[in-house]
Structure 1
Amino acid sequence: MTSILEFTSVSKTYSKRGQALQALDSVSFSIEEGEVFGFVGPNGAGKSTTIKILLDIISDYDGDVKLFGQSARQASSRQFVAYLPEAAALYEQFTPLDILKTALRMYGIKRADELDWCMYWLERFSVAGNAKRKIRQLSKGNVQRVALAHAMVVEPKLLVLDEPLSGLDPVGRKDVVDILQEYKQQGGAIFFTSHVLHDVERIADRFGFINQGRLLTTQSPRDLMAEHAKEFLVRYQSDSITEGQAVRPGEYEVQVSQQDLPQWLGRLNGEQGQLLEVKPLVSLEAVFFKMLEQHG
């Protein structure tokens, strides 16, 4: 696997009213090809500062940041990076079609099928019917869809998304999640922030939890929840063990405590049953608040 983004011991201090404010404190993480990395933390934790450093909006920091093996201080490192801010600032007098064509020209991309390519992405995000309407005439949700299409039309290798599902209805959220998962399967990498922790659980392969400028952990949501779970849902197949709820003939789900789990799994193995899944019964949100209490 090739590293798309690397932060190595990155620190940033602001001066506020003569006092030093530590925005980032020796933050290190990396993102690989085809990986979705969620960046989670309360307001003021350092998420926006991290994005600004990645994009070289902030350049006076300590440590090292690399994009595709190049220093992030070099403009060429962002040739294959697309960024979507939380509040997308699109030209209100432009149409969605204008916005996507402008994106291609800004990235120096020339396509013989420019019109068809732009319409393809507007269709993917269900805004093709508004292709020639002014941005100011669109709803917040449709503007967000146009902004996502704007990011995808340039075929980036890294998407940097700040609250990408903000303003979308449930149908829109599902559509976008499906498109992002397809993008990931094709090798694209995603760095995204979100206050909706359910989105992190659905999308992220790993996430970083940051608080007061310190990166407290980088793990998969499943691994972190397994660490904190006291109960697990076990799904299994067996002819002799029939505990819990029958899902279908010969297949069952049973709730088992963390303490009893090793013994229960040993029993299943001894009875020649088949383990299908072990899922921690705790939400990422619950773990999030627990970690805030521990490190607040």
Structure 2
Amino acid sequence: MSALQFHDVSKTFQSRKGAIRALNRVNLQVDEGEVFGFVGPNGAGKSTTIKVMLDIINDYEGDVSIYGSSSRDARSRKAIAYLPESPALYEQFTPLEVLRMALRMNGIRRRDEKAWCQQWLERFSVAPYASRRIRQLSKGNVQRVALAHTLVVQPRLLVLDEPLSGLDPVGRQDVVDILLEYKHAGGAIFFTSHVLHDVERIADRFGFINRGELITTRSPRELVAEHADRFIVRYQSQSLAEGERLREDEYQQELDQSALPGWLDNLNRHGGRVLSIHPATSLESVFFRILEENSATGPGGR
């Protein structure tokens, strides 16, 4: 059974300038035990997709189902725990109180409630702050508490908007490990992120959305393999200035395999020097290429 499914979902907003198509016939599926990354530029439709999923926006076309039931049915959404990009926890509460409240709001009664909540605070390395007020915690620790808040209720589907925001490198790795443990236990994750390296290391598949259209759905490995014939050249030159400038007289240019020999000959004629050549196979490089291609073809382009 699919954890989450969108079928021909469209949403149009009305503005003074006319109708704005925020989502255009979006189709996607997230399976049990799968991590699905959702990426795209600002204003692409990521937040609208989440709001439709959670029935915050309900005047849309198409169908959304959660474990086989319509997301319009509040009972189906009990399977979801949601973490917004900027968590709004009650600042006068302590982390322990926040987690205990989450259990009670979800109708979960446990004899070991305090110990269970304390266990999750320990898992996210915020147990030493269990009795402090949220307002006294750093941004990174608030994010950890918010993540513990989503997992303490043991949801079947996690919906996370920028879950690693505000965390230091150690914290990011800790959270990645916890999310992967959750996945291996059968949980499904739908998450957005602007940090494409996080998508590469966490997601089984990802969807790239731009201007309300789901451009592609692939695994990071598949997409990178499809673009493996491109290379990034770092070079120095005082007379040839192409691509991205890194520092004085040093540039970076992306080229496909067929154009590389001729470009290197031209660089040689200009007295330039190659510093490095490596495949342009990161998800980040592919992301910008797809964005450029989609912008050139206009809405509806692939």
Q: Say whether the fold is shared (TM-score over 0.5).
A: yes
Q: Do structure 1's residue 107 and structure 2's residue 140 form an aligned pair? A: no
Percent identical: 70
Alpha-carbon deviation of 1:229? 1.1
TM-score calculated relative to the size of structure 1: 0.83
Q: Do structure 1's residue 163 and structure 2's residue 162 form an aligned pair? A: yes
Counterparts of 1:231 and 1:86 in 2: how far apart (Å)? 34
Which residue is 1:293 aligned to?
Answer: 292
Which digits, 9 at most, give the CA deviation of each residue in 1:177-214, with x for residues without a partner? Answer: 00000000000000000000000000000000000000
Which residue is 1:282 aligned to?
Answer: 281
Alpha-carbon deviation of 1:258? 8.2
Give the letter for the 1:174 counterpart. Q
What SS does structure 1 have at the residue aligned with 2:55? coil
Which residue is 2:235 aligned to?
Answer: none
Q: Do structure 1's residue 91 and structure 2's residue 106 form an aligned pair? A: no
Alpha-carbon deviation of 1:131? 0.2
* Contact 1:53 1:59 (8 Å CA) reproduced: yes
1:155-234 counterparts in 2 under 5 A?
155-230=154-229
Give the letter for the 2:100 counterpart. K
What SS does structure 1 have at the residue aligned with 2:186? coil
Give the letter for the 2:133 counterpart. K
What SS does structure 1 have at the residue aligned with 2:59? coil
What SS does structure 1 have at the residue aligned with 2:111? coil
Which residue is 1:36 aligned to?
Answer: 35
Q: Do structure 1's residue 139 and structure 2's residue 147 form an aligned pair? A: no
What SS does structure 2 have at the residue aligned with 1:111? coil
Counterparts of 1:45 and 1:115 in 2: how far apart (Å)? 41
Alpha-carbon deviation of 1:287? 0.3
Alpha-carbon deviation of 1:80? 1.5
Counterparts of 1:79 and 1:13 in 2: how far apart (Å)? 27
Counterparts of 1:197 and 1:187 in 2: how far apart (Å)? 24
Cα RMSD between the aligned structures? 1.6
Counterparts of 2:154 and 2:216 in 1: how far apart (Å)? 31
Counterparts of 1:44 and 1:155 in 2: how far apart (Å)? 31
Which digits, 9 at most, give the CA deviation of each residue in 1:136-186, with x for residues without a partner? Answer: 000000000000000000000100000000000000000000000000000
Counterparts of 2:117 and 2:14 in 1: how far apart (Å)? 44
Alpha-carbon deviation of 1:79? 1.1
Which residue is 1:55 aligned to?
Answer: 54
Q: Do structure 1's residue 70 and structure 2's residue 43 form an aligned pair? A: no
Counterparts of 2:225 and 2:6 in 1: how far apart (Å)? 27
Distance 1:119 1:258, change over 3 A: farther
What SS does structure 1 have at the residue aligned with 2:75? helix
Which digits, 9 at most, give the CA deviation of each residue in 1:55-92, with x for residues without a partner? Answer: 00000000000011111001000112100000000000
What SS does structure 2 have at the residue aligned with 1:229? coil
* Contact 1:229 1:258 (8 Å CA) reproduced: no
Q: Do structure 1's residue 46 and structure 2's residue 45 form an aligned pair? A: yes
Counterparts of 1:258 and 1:227 in 2: how far apart (Å)? 13
Alpha-carbon deviation of 1:230? 1.8
Alpha-carbon deviation of 1:281? 5.5
Give the letter for the 1:143 counterpart. V
Which residue is 1:242 aligned to?
Answer: none
Alpha-carbon deviation of 1:18? 4.8
5+ unaligned residues in a row in structure 2: which ranges?
232-255, 259-278, 296-302
* Contact 1:85 1:163 (8 Å CA) reproduced: yes
Give the letter for the 1:125 counterpart. F
Q: Do structure 1's residue 121 and structure 2's residue 116 form an aligned pair? A: no
Give the letter for the 2:62 counterpart. G
Q: What is the number of residues matched between the two proteins?
A: 252
Counterparts of 1:231 and 1:53 in 2: how far apart (Å)? 37
Which digits, 9 at most, give the CA deviation of each residue in 1:261-293, with x for residues without a partner? Answer: xxxxxxxxxxxxxxxxxxx75110000000011
What SS does structure 2 have at the residue aligned with 1:79? helix
Distance 1:231 1:22, change over 3 A: closer
